[in-house]
Amino acid sequence: MSKIVKNLLVDDLKHRLKNVNEVIVVSLGRLDGTKTTQLRQVLRKKKIHLQLIKNSLARRATLDTPLAPAFGTTEGMLAIAWGGEDVVDLAKELDRVSGVKEYDGFEFRAGALDGARLAADDVKAVAKWPNRAEQLSILSGQISSLGATLSGQILGAGATLAGQIASRVDDLEKAGVEEAPAA
């Protein structure tokens, strides 16, 4: 491959990864062209991009970016995946794909998350995290729980006070009714 072609590939990859903050590096194993195309179609439905790239070109394209740690110790022809709703969705989908018998040989090699390198085991751990929607659900539940507790405490004290006032009014009315006929 000529130096001009390599530079064009590096520039294209830089452009594609311009606003990307996390990638996962995978090995496709012995997947043939048909299986790779099927895999790309499956991932594309989840808005995940998969691109085969020579490691040295990826290293050059990500130099001085938060993605550079993903290519520190990787070797050979690999694929990089990015996209999805967030990095957790990306890791979950790739983890699901790695368990599908049809894509035997698909495995994690590395990744980059906020400028930090992820090992293959770290990527599997990220796949077990709650995704953005789940995190928002957990957070809203926690906020609602605190609000409900506070509301219950405020209403409980008010209800107790209202009950005591009503009881006192009843006592005064009974005392007023008993005194009225005697007068």
Q: What is the pLDDT of residues 107-160, one digit of tens each?
A: 888 999 888 898 888 888 888 888 888 888 888 888 888 787 888 888 888 788
- Scanning 29-73, the segments in alpha helix (DSSP H) are 33-45, 55-61
What is the model's pLDDT at position 86? 86
Evaluate if residue 183 carries a pLDDT over 50.
no
Closest CA to 44 of 95, 93, 115: 93
Evaluate if residue 176 carries a pLDDT over 80.
no
pLDDT per residue as tens digits for the range 41-87: 999 999 999 999 888 888 888 888 888 888 877 776 789 999 988 88
What is the model's pLDDT at position 24? 93
What is the rounded average pLDDT of the residues 8-32?
A: 88
Domain spans, the chain = 3-129, 132-183
Q: What is the CATH class of 3-129?
A: alpha beta
User: What separation, in Å, do the N-terminal and C-terminal C-alpha atoms of the chain show?
Assistant: 116
AA identity, residue 42: V
What is the model's pLDDT at position 49? 93
- Burial of 45 (C-beta count, 10 Å sphere; 0-12/13-18/19+): exposed
